[in-house]
Amino acid sequence: MIQSTVAWLTLFLAVAVVIAFLVRRVPVPYVVALALVGLAAGTFLGREPIHLTHSLILLILLPGLLFEAAFNIEWAHLRPNLVAVVALATIGVFLTTALAGLLVHSTLGLGLAAAIVFGAIVAPTDPVAVVAVFRRLGVPDRLTNLIESESLLNDGTGVVVFGLALALLTSGAGLAPAAAAWQFVRLSVGGVALGGLVGLGLSLLTRRIDDPQVEISLTVLAAYGSYLLGEASGVSGILAVVGAGLVMGNYGRPRAMSERTQVAVTAFWDAIAFLLNSVIFLLIGVDVPLPSLLGHAGLVLAAFAIVTLARAIAVLGILVPLHPLGRPVGLRWQALIAWSGLRGAVAIALLLSLEDHQPELAIVKPIAYGVVLLSIALQGATIGPLARLLLPARADFSSASQEQGGG
């Protein structure tokens, strides 16, 4: 079994390298190409060749992805948007989950608990492709950083909401809104605080060492050790990873690492993110064969429309009331934030973690995966033209435009 798993993972990585090389010559997003190859493989293989459990997905795939993202977020860029980012990553995740779940339940006929699980899966966003487009177009840094920072935090809070929704489904018992909110706050705040302490401790240790290999190993320990410690402590292990990554990236890297170590650590985590993203998108393609996806095409289109609407309502419902409380985020920026809410690796990882013995979730996989694929292909392809339409020409991007939030 272990030998077979290693062989399949090696094959997946080889395929990922080939695809990464080929997509440089064609206008197809890398992750879409990976997913399409996975779908084709699933058609011939029938079922996934690697059995990955819920715990294994959350332990191996997500900590690496989220630590890399948190490690590369600069606090100086996060601070001006902190109120909006936190609101979008908490209230926004709840709103998107609830709206998407309730609408899917009422219009598409999914059971309420399964529909809420679906909403939790599609609530986290992944704007990697969007950020790349924005930086190429010269979009104001504040907007780019707001979208990137929100995605990092809502990945973590989305996993917490997913865990609560899955527990609700498996237990069959109801959970009062106040109890759910308290549990969410306890898991989230406790996780970030614990991870921050882990990151601080390892950063202080790093100051005493000048060895790139050892210091890279300490960042790996921060990523996976904080997750395990968080889970063992009864808080969110995923948000502990985020807290550790933020502290090590903003304190440990600039203050405790030499320049050569910083270059080595950044290159290492870039490679890890590439490998984990590749494996995730190939695996889900194999896990949901093409005939299953095509058989639910109508439901996928309807669910995509619902999810897009839920995201837009959540963004407008949060940022409009926040307008007088801090630096404003204008309507044009809000439209871009809503449309840039692509679904990606975290949603895929949550899908892969669903156990096969839960029949009420059997239809959730093809629908949610179809939504993710449509999101990457459609929104990813159109976000650039939409940015050109809604924002001034690159030469006109001024500090005043950034301060006013693109109103």
Instruction: Please say whether the beta carbons of 284 and 352 come within 8 A.
Output: yes
Give how far the C-alpha of residue 54 lies from the chain's centroid of Cα atoms, to the nearest Å: 17
Q: What does the block give as tokens for 327?
A: 């630096």
pLDDT value of residue 53: 63
C-alpha–C-alpha distance, residues 15 and 382, integer Å: 27
pLDDT value of residue 58: 76
Domains and CATH numbers, the chain: 2-404 (1.20.1530.20)
pLDDT value of residue 404: 44
Q: What does the block give as tokens for 167?
A: 């527990």
Tokens 């930086």 -> residue: 135
Instruction: Please say whether the beta carbons of 123 and 154 come within 8 A.
Output: yes
Q: Closest Cα to residue 243, out of 187, 166, 315?
A: 187
pLDDT value of residue 302: 95
pLDDT value of residue 216: 96
C-alpha–C-alpha distance, residues 153 and 155, integer Å: 5
Instruction: Please name the helix (run of DSSP H) or strand (run of DSSP E) that holds residue 141, with its range, or none.
Output: helix 141-171
Per-residue pLDDT of the chain (407 residues; tens, 9 = 90+): 566 667 777 777 788 888 878 877 776 667 777 777 777 776 666 555 566 666 667 788 889 988 998 998 888 878 878 888 888 988 999 999 999 999 999 998 888 888 999 999 999 888 776 777 787 778 888 888 888 888 888 888 888 889 888 887 776 655 566 777 788 889 999 999 999 999 999 999 999 998 999 999 999 999 999 999 999 999 999 999 999 999 999 999 999 999 999 999 999 999 998 888 888 877 776 777 677 788 889 999 999 999 999 999 999 988 877 755 556 778 888 999 999 888 887 888 888 788 766 677 888 888 998 898 888 888 888 888 898 898 875 434 433 344 445 54
Per-residue pLDDT of 310-335, as tens digits, reads 999 999 988 877 755 556 778 888 99
Furthest C-alpha separation in the chain? 60
Q: Closest Cα to residue 101, out of 143, 161, 44?
A: 161
pLDDT value of residue 400: 36
Long-range contacts of 104-108 (CB under 8 A, 24+ apart): 104/303, 104/306, 107/302, 107/306, 108/299, 108/302, 108/303, 108/306
Instruction: Please say whether the beta carbons of 237 and 191 come within 8 A.
Output: yes
